[in-house]
């Protein structure tokens, strides 16, 4: 699992502990976490959830009348700089 995957899994675990159903998906450039947000959520839980997603690179809330509310968070995968492409010990 990538470093972003580990971070995303930790975020998902914390959201699950707050009572939200989560899912994690890997992409080539990032790892995303989505959580279904119930209609009734206490103020305290909202604060906890916002503290969790604030650790992601990006986050938001998608709310529709058809699908309810989905909270999402994205953790970007690091892209090596030109000097680091070859890895440790690489000589140009």
pLDDT of residue 39: 86
DSSP letters of the chain?
--HHHHHHHHHHHHHHHTT-EEEEEE-SSEEEEEEEE-S---HHHHHHHHHHHTTSSEEEEEEETTTEEEEEEEEEPP---GGGTT-TT---
pLDDT of residue 90: 47
Q: What is the pLDDT along the chain (92 residues), one digit of tens a residue?
A: 778 888 999 999 999 999 999 999 998 899 999 999 998 889 999 999 999 999 999 999 999 888 789 999 999 987 655 555 555 554 44
pTM of the model: 0.78
């Amino acid at each position: 699992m990538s470093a972003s995957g580990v971070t995303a899994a930790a975020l998902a675990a914390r959201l699950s502990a707050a009572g939200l159903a989560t899912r994690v998906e890997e992409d080539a450039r990032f790892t995303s976490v989505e959580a279904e947000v119930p209609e009734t959520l206490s103020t305290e839980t909202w604060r906890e959830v916002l503290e969790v997603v604030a650790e992601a690179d990006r986050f938001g809330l998608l709310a529709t009348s058809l699908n309810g509310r989905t909270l999402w968070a994205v953790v970007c995968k690091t892209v090596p700089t030109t000097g680091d492409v070859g890895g440790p010990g690489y000589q140009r």
